[in-house]
Amino acid sequence: MTWIYGIIGGFVLFLYGIVPTFQPSYFHRIYAAYGGIFIIMALLWGLIFEGIYPDLFDGIGAVISIVGVVIIFYTPKKGEKPVWLK
Whether 69 is in a domain gets the answer: yes
Residue 76: partners with Cβ closer than 8 Å, 6 or more residues away: 82, 83
Compute the distance between CA of residue 9 and CA of residue 15 in angstroms, rounded to an integer.
10
Domain carrying residue 54:
24-75
Compute the distance between CA of residue 85 and CA of residue 74 in angstroms, rounded to an integer.
11
Whether 61 is in a domain gets the answer: yes
Q: pTM higher than 0.85 for the full model?
A: no
Whether 10 is in a domain gets the answer: no
Whether 29 is in a domain gets the answer: yes
Question: Per-residue pLDDT tens for 39-77?
Answer: 998 999 999 989 999 999 999 999 999 999 888 888 887
